[in-house]
Structure 1
C-alpha cells in the first residue's frame, strides 16, 4: 500500500488576545473623574481603583478587559465596609438604642433605595462605564446598578485611603441625612423620641409608670415621659412597654405642635 502524499491535517491555532488588566479611559472621562474627586474632597492615590468602582461588567466584556476588572468584587467588600461604618456611627450616636432597633435602622440606611439616593445625590450615574447595549437600555439609571456602584466606590475608597477617610466621606454625604431624621420612620416611638431629643439637644428624658390597675389577666398601665423633669407625654397600655410607647408617641405629637407654634 502506497503512502499518502498528503501530510497529516494540522489544526490551525486560534489567536486569543490577552485580556488587559488596565482600565484605560479617555481624556474626557479622566477629566470627569478629576472633577468628581475635587467635588467630594478626596484624591485617589490609585485611580485604577476609582475607575474600577464605576466599571460595569458590560464595559469589561465589550473592551476585552480582564473578567475581574469590573466592580463586582469591590461591591462584595464594599457592602461589608458600609455596614461596619454605619454600625459604628449608630452605635456611638444612639447609646440608649437597643440592638434590635439599631439593626432595623441600619437596614433602612444600607438598603437599595437608600443607596440609590446617595448615588443620585452625587451624580454617580454620569460616571458609570457601560457597554453600548447596557447604555441603550437605560442601565445608567438602573437602581440595582447605582446601589452596586455606591458600595463599590466605598470599597475603593477604603482600599485606597483607609477606613477613616471612608468615615470622613460618609460624614459629608450620608450621616447628615441620618441626623436630619430621614430614617426615623423605621424606629419605634421611644427610639424616634430619643432621636429627636438628641438631634435637637433638648436634654434628658425619663419614663415613669404612674398607675397600674385591673386584674392580673387584664392589667392596665399608665406611663408618662418627662423631659428635664417636665411632663412631655402620657400613655396607657396593657404592659409597661406598651404604655411607654404610647407616652412617647404622645410626646412626639406634643413636640411637633410646639415646634409648629414657634415657627
Structure 2
C-alpha cells in the first residue's frame, strides 16, 4: 500500500495529474510467452545459466520499488567513482552498492537497443520489442567526446516496460517506454533517471576506470560498468 501511495504522489508531482486509483503491482517473476509463445522466462534468466550468472540476472530483472520507496541522489561522477575493481578483480555480487536505489541527472546522448543477440537475463530474446533499451548519459549536453570517458548507461527492461505501460512508474513522457518513444522523447534532453545500481560484469573490460590506457580489450566505450539497471522512473527536466 505504501508503494502505491508513493507512486501516486510522485506521478502527480511530476505530471500534475489528479489522484486516481492505481492497479495492484503485478508479479513478474515469471514472464509468459517470452521470449516466444508458449515459453516462459523467470527472473533467473536462462535455465542453463551458471549460479553466478543467475544471481546477476536476478539483479538485472528487478522490478519492485526500493524499501520505503526512496531513491538516493547521486551524480554521474559519483557513479563513475564507485569501486570497479581491477583488470582481473571485479566488484563482488554482494557489494552493498547493488542494494542502492539511486537517482541521477544527465543529458541523453544516445538511445539504442541492447542485447539483440540474446542476453542470458532475457532468456535469449532477440525480438527488438523484448530486449533492453540502453540509454547513454553524460553530464554535459555539449559533450562531443566519442571515447565514452564521461558516459554511463541506464537501462529500461522488458519488465519495467510492462510496469510503465500499466501506469505504475513515475514518468512525464507517458507510459510507453519502447525504444522508439524513449529515443523520440529523451535524446538530447536533460533527464532524471531513478532505478537500481548494477555492475554489468559483461562490460568490465570495456571501461576507462578499469583500463585507463585502453590496453586490456582495446575497446573501451564507457566510463564505468556501474549503471542504472533497471530504470524505475523517468523525469525530463527543463
- TM-score, structure 2 normalization: 0.30
Structure having the larger proportion of residues in strand:
2
Q: Which has the larger radius of gyration?
A: 1
Larger RCO of the pair (alpha carbons < 8 Å, separation 6+): 2
- TM-score, structure 1 normalization: 0.28
